[in-house]
Amino acid sequence: MGDGPVMSMNRLLLPCLLLLLCVGCGGSEPAETEPASATPAAEPAAPPVRWAIAIHGGALSVVRPDLEQQDYRAALETALRTGTVILERGGTSLDAVEQVIRVLEDDAKFNAGKGAVFTSAGTNELDASIMDGRTLACGAVTGVTTVKNPISLARRVMEDSRHVFFAGQGAEAFARQQGLRIVDPRYFFTQDRWEALQKQLQQDGAEPVAAGDKQGTVGCVALDRHGNLAAGTSTGGLTNKRFGRIGDSPVIGAGTYASNRSCAISGTGKGEEFIRNAVAHDIAALMEYKQLTLQRAAEEVVLRKLRPGDGGVIGVARDGSIAMVFNTQGMFRGAADSTGRLEVLIGKD
């Protein structure tokens, strides 16, 4: 009888102790009461704010003394800054790629647009391509002789036609329909490219020339603040190229490729080798299927699959990293990103 109060206290304390034990030992109850949607991982990711851009102005078999390259450095920096302004303000990677390449096409120092090299027949036949990494949409043109800015024509093919690749007269008819700037073929004439052809014809007969000391095919790759990648390439091809020859620059997967799943790539060098090895797509595939970093994927293809002297690539990955890899003596190139990086390089350093 005298045990009465103790018993009633026990009756009260026992359930409380059991409840405390259950919470303390991490039983299933508390986990289930925590809603999954409250964890940070389930919230929508914040939009990426990083941007990055890289450009090239051609692979070089000979690197001339730095002083002689000053004009090229300045021209590359001007083009690079055109792209950085667009990306900094939240513009698209496609706009950056197109506008940067237009600047380089209008500069006679580079082998694209004004300043393109001559074919064996003494004509200028221009190639260009562009690709949108967000949708895999792409556009390319080859063998155009009257379109002032082939990269803009490639973009129109991508955005305003049902096709991806237009050649020669058809490409030019489409350019006229689109109201793009048409020029007389003589617009593309430059004295030093003409002399390079004459020298080539005397020395090697029909041999086309790959990278020289100022070959100057141009390309641009970019990642915008919206997380989208784009790539573009524009060229006059090789000095002394034969009738109808098409290089890698307008061939999607060879000289140009972009996919938001991996990276954006633009190449320069011996076009035939870049086509045989599907260079640009191969780098993207190594990233996508083998999870290689951009740098490692580019090295795998450019340094191990291609042969020394074949050329190089620029690339930007979806994480904003940049790679510029070549197996020639040098490559006119530049890179910039939202961390404040801005550099123009020519030789191996």
Stretch that binds ligand ASP, among 18-26, 78-86, 152-160, 210-218 (CB under 6 A): 210-218
248 contributes a contact to ligand ASP by CB under 6 A:
yes
Provide, rounded to whole angstroms, the least separation between the CB of residue 332 and ligand ASP.
10
Q: Pick the binder of ligand ASP from 197, 209, 211, 280 (CB under 6 A).
A: 211
* CA separation for the pair 86, 99 (Å, rounded): 9
What are the distances in angstroms from CA 72 to CA 51, 95, 145, 251, 269?
Answer: 24, 23, 25, 26, 18
Provide, rounded to whole angstroms, the least separation between the CB of residue 315 and ligand ASP.
15
Strand residue runs (E) in 210-262: 218-223, 229-235, 256-258
- Residues 50-79: x/- map of binding to ligand ASP (CB under 6 A)? --------x---------------------
* CA separation for the pair 215, 100 (Å, rounded): 18
269 contributes a contact to ligand ASP by CB under 6 A:
yes
**Residue 113 backbone class (left: φ over 0; alpha: ψ -120 to 50; beta: rest):** left
The angle formed by the CA atoms of residues 265, 270 and 272, to the nearest 5 degrees, is 95
What are the φ and ψ backbone dihedral angles of 281, each rounded to 5 degrees? Answer: -70, -35
Q: What is the dihedral of CA 72, 74, 75, 80, to 10 degrees?
A: 120
Q: Pick the binder of ligand ASP from 92, 145, 262, 268 (CB under 6 A).
A: 268
324 contributes a contact to ligand ASP by CB under 6 A:
no
Q: Which amino acid is at 131?
A: M
* Number of residues engaging ligand ASP in binding (CB under 6 A): 14
Provide, rounded to whole angstroms, the least separation between the CB of residue 99 and ligand ASP.
21
- What is the CB neighbour count within 10 angstroms for residue 161? 14
310 contributes a contact to ligand ASP by CB under 6 A:
no
Provide, rounded to whole angstroms, the least separation between the CB of residue 177 and ligand ASP.
26
Stretch that binds ligand ASP, among 9-17, 183-191, 244-252, 288-296 (CB under 6 A): 244-252
247 contributes a contact to ligand ASP by CB under 6 A:
yes
* CA separation for the pair 344, 74 (Å, rounded): 9
In the residue annotation, 119 being an active-site residue is answered as no
Active-site positions read 217
Name the site residues for ligand ASP (rule: CB under 6 A). Answer: 58, 211, 215, 217, 235, 237-238, 247-249, 255, 268-269, 271
